[in-house]
Amino acid sequence: MLKLMNMLRYVLLSSLATILAGCTTIDWPAERAQAMSAAAAPTGETVDIAELLKTPLSRESALRIALVHSPEMRRLLALHEGELNSAAMTGRLANPSFSYERLRSAEGLDIERWISFGVLDVLTFPQRRRIAEADVEAGRVRLAADIVERMTAVRRGWVEAVAAGEKRRYAERVLASAEASAELALRMEAAGNFNILERARQQSYQADARSRVILARQHELAAQESLVRLLGLDADQARRLTLPARLPDLPTDPVSAPDVSRTMTATRLDLRLANAKWRSAAAASGLTRVTSLTDVSLSLREQETRGFEVELSLPVFDVGDLQRGAARAQLRAAAAELEQAALVASSDLRVGYAAYRSAYEDAIHHRDVLVPLRKAMSEETLLRYNGMLIGVFELLSDAREQVDTVIAAIESSERFWLAEADLQASLLGRPGVER
Amino acid sequence: MTSRRRFFELASLTGGAVAAATVAKAALAALPEPVIETSPSTRPPLEPASGRPYRPVVTLNGWTLPWRMNRGVKEFHLVAEPVQREFAPGFKANLWGYNGQSPGPTIEVVEGDRVRIFVTNKLPEITSVHWHGQRLPPGMDGVVGLSQPGIPPGKTFVYEFVARRPGTFMYHPHADEMVQMAMGMMGFWVTHPKDKHPLIADVDRDFCFLLNSFDIDPGSATPKIMTMLDFNIWSWNSRVFPGIDPLIVRHNDRVRIRIGNLTMTNHPIHLHGHEFLVTGTDGGPTPISTRQYEVTQDIAVGQMRQIEFLADEEGDWAFHCHKSHHTMNAMGHDVPTMIGVKQDDLAAKINDLVPGYMAMGERGMDEMSTMRMPMPKNTLPMMMGEGPFGAVGMGGMFSVVKVRRGQKRNDYTDPGWYRHPPGTVAYEFTGNAPSAARETGAGGASMPLKQPVEATVNVRKPRGHSGH
């Protein structure tokens, strides 16, 4: 008996050593930090919201609040922590089972003790560990990708809210001048210099301008609230939230094509995920080759007689060919997926970069050509007014015509910063991630 | 002034591409050297160096073309070409003209002279010269297609005829004439009488100028050639006030002024301080019996008039077109009347969207003549001119006839502002008004007014701008 026990102990211990040596474990704080870094997220575990809200909120501050503070972000992290742990479980052995039987019969007391475990589990442990590692890696990538997605949403929300404010303020300036011209028209009518038609025409500009302001205010409010939700601000914090008066200046050296192609590496999230899936499928396929044939369990029995019991399922009816075929197909699918991921990643990058680049050129064109042209026209119009070549109403009507140019310029800048947010995600490989 | 090199410089200055037609030197060798004028100021009268003597005219802000005598024929050389003309300091226009200027030089001949005029075309299209009002062979009348083929760019044509009747004439193209005249191609022609003429008096000073008009968008420099009536530059010899020289006259001089109208509307020309007689029209001298004293003479489109007066009132006398918008420089056709409309308090609001905006016109437009604000480049203010008592507030077809006792015969130098004898200038009233003698017994209760008059009419100018 003792001899037997020793033998068994030896087997158990040796396999345990093997298991423990490469056992998959999850160090959550490290995983979290790693994912943040993979997502190129701003560092820092805490954020002083009250302090950040004292001044107009920059895009970076908005990101920090959203990543550290927002409940949505915390929910996301908790979900991923759970998923990673589940994935790691595959890499552990099923626990040995112990059974104890105590039967009283006519012949007396009959005690039977069994200790049993799946031998194949132990033998196939390296494969299982590989699967677990691949699954954990996939989980990690999904976590980083979700953070990237979150950051993109915050960046976009911030850009939209700032642009909406800019447009609202400009609409208000236009209204002020339209009010002045309507007032002037009323005075002209009172002095007998205008008829009702002329006066009404001037007043209708003011009415249009007011309608623009109402819409602009609503648009701004909606955009700000959408940012508030992304940041997870409560009502009081939302009240204190202020944003910069205008979008940042356009960058002097935008991301270039070589910069973009340098990011086409295996560290991209989409490629990492496809790779992890493939490795998981490959490991699973190796495992299936063994387990599809049979299952072996080893038991040690101690009764009045002692000895081993080996249970072996006979591959008579199910020789496992279906299981193996399925696994092989899954492996092929994963390999094809990896190949497709590389194609999609490079195509996505081209699309994203082209969108970014054309938005940049358009915004620069607005800034350097369209707005200066409009400005030159306004300056010349003022000179003509000075020379009594046109009247004040023509001058004001020209000023109103500036509106479309200015709004278009703000919108071109907005489109650029949205494209920039999308490109940042693209460079990290977020758009190619398949859920 | 007479340099040919200068002429080529000018041609290239006014657009090398336009002045594409260059003329071969060899072709020019047999021709009289073209004389080119580079200054827009009034040149002294050109005393005739050859031929019958006469008393030459003074072309306002212009000059007379010298000629050469060739076996008894007076030979002139006109060069049609792009030019740059200063209308007044601060405003230059790209025009087409003759021999460096628009209008071209005045041609002076004597009744009975045989005249040969070489016309060299340095324009990018054909041209011709019509000798407006002359008796001549139909083949010399200058109507392209009808009386001659057009003068191609780079070619020289010859016109030759006898100046048969004395009088005041003009010349201008009759090829693409709407465009070429809108670009400033025109000139004056005077045929002096051969002998004493019963209807043509000897005068001490004989001035001449053309009325012309242009449509030059403020800030630009080239006339709009398709404009029909809405011209914004009203000029005498392609000059506008204060760029037009004054007419300098000696006290008690007999003065003749010859005026030709090549604008697209009529001009009632008005002289202050004197009455004049219209002594000549398109057809020549007027019969004595038809002459009556006038202070304004309307000159219709395409017409010429010569007026004469005795300058017996000393002083600086305004002389101008009586259409008040013709004594203005470029102005807006659709500027609303702001009189009586307070704007200052709204200026701040408007300024927010239109930085640099200033309220104007609440008390009329006189402030425009003193305010100096930035304007489109190459554009004159609507109202200009500094006189001895302040801003004159004029532009366009306005000048001054200066009659002076001390002026020497044939001296055309500007004597400066007139010195008024004490007590002869309008002054501000500061005393108490003596009460007027009134009849108080009339009216009364016999015919009381039934209802008060309340209708008020606000006077404004008609908006349509056609029919100047």
What is the reported pLDDT for B1? 43
> In the numeric block, which tokens belong to residue B450?
């039934």
Q: Which of B358, B376, B458 sits opposite A383 (nearest CB)?
A: B376
pLDDT of B220 strictly over 50: yes
pLDDT of A398 strictly over 50: yes
Of all residues in chain B, the percent with pLDDT exceeding 70 is 87
- Shortest Cα distance from A385 to chain B (angstroms)? 8
Residues of B with CB under 8 A from a CB of A: 218-219, 330-332, 334-343, 346, 349-350, 352-354, 356-361, 365, 368, 373-376, 379, 381-382, 458, 460
Question: Which candidate in B220, B339, B349, B353 is best for mutational testing of the A interface (most A CBs within 10 A)?
Answer: B353
Q: Which of A184, A394, A402 sits opposite B343 (nearest CB)?
A: A184
Q: Tell me how far apart the alpha carbons of residues B357 and B329 are, in angstroms, rounded to a whole number.
A: 22
What is the reported pLDDT for B389? 95
Average pLDDT over residues B339-365: 82
What is the reported pLDDT for B18? 37
- Shortest Cα distance from A396 to chain B (angstroms)? 8
Number of A to B CB contacts under 8 A, please give it.
112
The residue among B328, B334, B314, B336 whose CA lies nearest residue B418 is: B314
Say yes or no for a CB contact (<8 Å) between B341 and A187: yes
Burial, B170: exposed, middle or buried (Cβ in 10 Å; 0-12, 13-18, 19+)? buried
The model's pLDDT over B156-177, given as tens digits with 9 standing for 90+, comes to 999 999 999 999 999 999 999 9
What is the reported pLDDT for A17? 57
Lowest mean pLDDT among A230-234, B28-32, B198-202: B28-32
- Answer for the pair B258, B55: CB distance below 8 angstroms, yes or no: no
A64: domain CATH number? Answer: 1.20.1600.10
**Mean model confidence pLDDT for chain B:** 89
Please report which confidence band the pLDDT of residue B348 belongs to, taking 50, 70 and 90 as the band edges. confident
Q: How far is CA B342 from CA A8, B153, B424, in A?
A: 109, 58, 38
pLDDT of B11 strictly over 60: no
Residue A65: count of CB within 10 angstroms of its CB:
24
Chain A residues with CB-CB distance to B349 below 8 A: 176-177, 179-180
Q: Which residues are bridge partners to B297 per DSSP?
A: B269
Q: Is the peptide bond before B452 cis (omega within 30 degrees of 0)?
A: no
Question: Which candidate in A383, A397, A401, A406 is best for mutational testing of the B interface (most B CBs within 10 A)?
Answer: A383
Chain A residues with CB-CB distance to B361 below 8 A: 388, 392
Average pLDDT over residues A404-428: 94
Chain B residues with CB-CB distance to A387 below 8 A: 218, 330-331, 373, 375-376, 379, 381-382
- Shortest Cα distance from B370 to chain A (angstroms)? 12
Tell me which range, B10-19, B119-128, B447-456, is most confidently predicted by mean pLDDT: B119-128
* Residue A193 sits at the chain B interface (C-beta within 8 Å): yes
Note down the domain range covering A377: 2-428
What is the reported pLDDT for A23? 63
A387-406 residues touching B, CB cutoff 8 A = 387-396, 399, 402
What is the reported pLDDT for B347? 82
Q: Nearest chain B residue to A186 by CA: give it.
A: B341
Q: Evaluate whether residue A435 is within a structural domain.
A: no
Q: Which of B349, B365, B460 sits opposite A388 (nearest CB)?
A: B365
Torsion angle in degrees (nearest 10) through CA of B87, B92, B98, B99 = 100
Tell me which range, A266-270, A296-300, B28-32, B456-460, is most confidently predicted by mean pLDDT: A266-270
Average pLDDT over residues A259-272: 82
Q: Nearest chain A residue to B376 by CA: give it.
A: A383
Say yes or no for a CB contact (<8 Å) between A384 and B331: no
What is the reported pLDDT for A435? 33
What is the reported pLDDT for A12? 61
Lowest mean pLDDT among A85-94, A142-151, A255-264: A85-94
The DSSP result for A303-325, as a single string, is: SSSEEEEEEE--TTS--SHHHHH
Lowest mean pLDDT among A217-226, A426-435, B259-268: A426-435
Chain B residues with CB-CB distance to A395 below 8 A: 354, 357
Average pLDDT over residues B32-41: 91
Collapse the DSSP code of B30 into the 3-class scheme (helix H, G, I; strand E, B; otherwise coil) and give the result.
coil
- Shortest Cα distance from A383 to chain B (angstroms)? 4
Chain A residues with CB-CB distance to B332 below 8 A: 384, 388-391
Residue B5: count of CB within 10 angstroms of its CB:
8
pLDDT of B147 strictly over 70: yes
Average pLDDT over residues A182-201: 93
Say yes or no for a CB contact (<8 Å) between B356 and A382: yes
Q: Nearest chain A residue to B347 by CA: give it.
A: A180
Q: Which of B354, B375, B460 sits opposite A387 (nearest CB)?
A: B375
Q: Which of B330, B336, B374 sits opposite A193 (nearest CB)?
A: B336
Please report which confidence band the pLDDT of residue A119 belongs to, taking 50, 70 and 90 as the band edges. confident
Q: Evaluate whether residue A367 is within a structural domain.
A: yes
Q: Which of A174 and B17 is assigned the larger pLDDT?
A: A174
Average pLDDT over residues B409-423: 95
**ipTM reported for the complex, 2 dp:** 0.78
Q: Tell me how far apart the alpha carbons of residues A119 and A383 are, in angstroms, rounded to a whole number.
A: 95
Listed in sequence order, the DSSP H helices in A292-391 are: 321-365, 371-386
Q: Which of B440 and A180 is assigned the larger pLDDT?
A: A180
Report which residue type is found at A56: P
- Shortest Cα distance from B147 to chain A (angstroms)? 44
Q: Evaluate whether residue A388 is within a structural domain.
A: yes
Q: Which of B338, B350, B375 sits opposite A396 (nearest CB)?
A: B350
Tell me which range, A317-326, A331-340, B192-201, B423-432, is most confidently predicted by mean pLDDT: B192-201
> In the numeric block, which tokens belong to residue A88?
């790691």
Please report which confidence band the pLDDT of residue B236 belongs to, taking 50, 70 and 90 as the band edges. very high
Q: Which of B111 and A84 is assigned the larger pLDDT?
A: B111
Of all residues in chain B, the percent with pLDDT exceeding 90 is 73
The model's pLDDT over B270-285, given as tens digits with 9 standing for 90+, comes to 999 999 999 999 999 9
The residue among A171, A151, A192, A161 whose CA lies nearest residue A36 is: A151
What is the reported pLDDT for B79? 97
* Residue A176 sits at the chain B interface (C-beta within 8 Å): yes
Average pLDDT over residues B141-162: 97
Chain B residues with CB-CB distance to A212 below 8 A: none
- Answer for the pair B55, B202: CB distance below 8 angstroms, yes or no: yes
Q: Tell me how far apart the alpha carbons of residues A401 and A196 are, in angstroms, rounded to a whole number.
A: 23
Question: Which candidate in A205, A386, A393, A403 is best for mutational testing of the B interface (most B CBs within 10 A)?
Answer: A386
Please report which confidence band the pLDDT of residue A280 belongs to, taking 50, 70 and 90 as the band edges. confident
Q: How far is CA A316 from CA A312, A320, A321, in A?
A: 12, 10, 12
Task: For Cα atoms A144, A149, A155, give the angle at the middle one, nearest 5 degrees.
Answer: 125
Dihedral sign computed on CA atoms, order A170, A174, A175, A179: positive
* Residue A343 sits at the chain B interface (C-beta within 8 Å): no
The domain tally of chain A equals 1
> In the numeric block, which tokens belong to residue B142?
């200058």
* Residue A301 sits at the chain B interface (C-beta within 8 Å): no
Average pLDDT over residues B431-436: 74
Please report which confidence band the pLDDT of residue A176 belongs to, taking 50, 70 and 90 as the band edges. confident
- Shortest Cα distance from A421 to chain B (angstroms)? 33
What is the reported pLDDT for B172? 97
What's the full length of chain A, in residues? 435
Q: Evaluate whether residue A433 is within a structural domain.
A: no
Q: Tell me how far apart the alpha carbons of residues A151 and A398 are, in angstroms, rounded to a whole number.
A: 42
**Phi, psi (5° rounding) for residue B449?**
-75, 130
The alpha carbon of B108 is separated from its chain's Cα centroid by a whole number of angstroms, namely 19
Q: Nearest chain B residue to A184 by CA: give it.
A: B343
**Mean model confidence pLDDT for chain A:** 86
The model's pLDDT over B312-340, given as tens digits with 9 standing for 90+, comes to 999 999 999 999 999 999 988 888 898 88
The model's pLDDT over B51-101, given as tens digits with 9 standing for 90+, comes to 999 999 999 999 999 999 999 999 999 999 999 999 999 999 999 999 999
Say yes or no for a CB contact (<8 Å) between A192 and B458: yes
Q: Tell me how far apart the alpha carbons of residues A311 and A296 are, in angstroms, rounded to a whole number.
A: 6
Q: Which of A176, A192, A387 sits opposite B379 (nearest CB)?
A: A387
Q: Tell me how far apart the alpha carbons of residues A41 and A144 are, in angstroms, rounded to a whole number.
A: 9
Please report which confidence band the pLDDT of residue A37 belongs to, taking 50, 70 and 90 as the band edges. confident
Q: Evaluate whether residue A434 is within a structural domain.
A: no
- Shortest Cα distance from A415 to chain B (angstroms)? 25
Q: What domains appear along chain B, each with residue ranges and CATH number?
A: 4-196 (2.60.40.420)
Chain B residues with CB-CB distance to A405 below 8 A: none
What is the reported pLDDT for B2? 43
Q: Evaluate whether residue A31 is within a structural domain.
A: yes
Chain A residues with CB-CB distance to B359 below 8 A: 392
Q: Which of A367 and A132 is assigned the larger pLDDT?
A: A367
pLDDT of B431 strictly over 70: yes
What is the reported pLDDT for A147? 92
pLDDT of A286 strictly over 80: no
Report which residue type is found at B393: G
What is the reported pLDDT for A432? 43
Q: Which of B331, B337, B346 sits opposite A183 (nearest CB)?
A: B346
pLDDT of B467 strictly over 60: no
Question: Which candidate in B328, B341, B358, B371 is best for mutational testing of the A interface (most A CBs within 10 A)?
Answer: B341
Please report which confidence band the pLDDT of residue A3 belongs to, taking 50, 70 and 90 as the band edges. low
Pair type for strands B276-281 and B304-310: antiparallel
* Residue A378 sits at the chain B interface (C-beta within 8 Å): yes
Say yes or no for a CB contact (<8 Å) between A176 and B352: yes
- Shortest Cα distance from A403 to chain B (angstroms)? 10
Q: Which residues are bridge partners to A103 per DSSP?
A: A110
Chain A residues with CB-CB distance to B360 below 8 A: 388, 392
- Shortest Cα distance from B348 to chain A (angstroms)? 9
pLDDT of A312 strictly over 80: no
* Residue A385 sits at the chain B interface (C-beta within 8 Å): yes
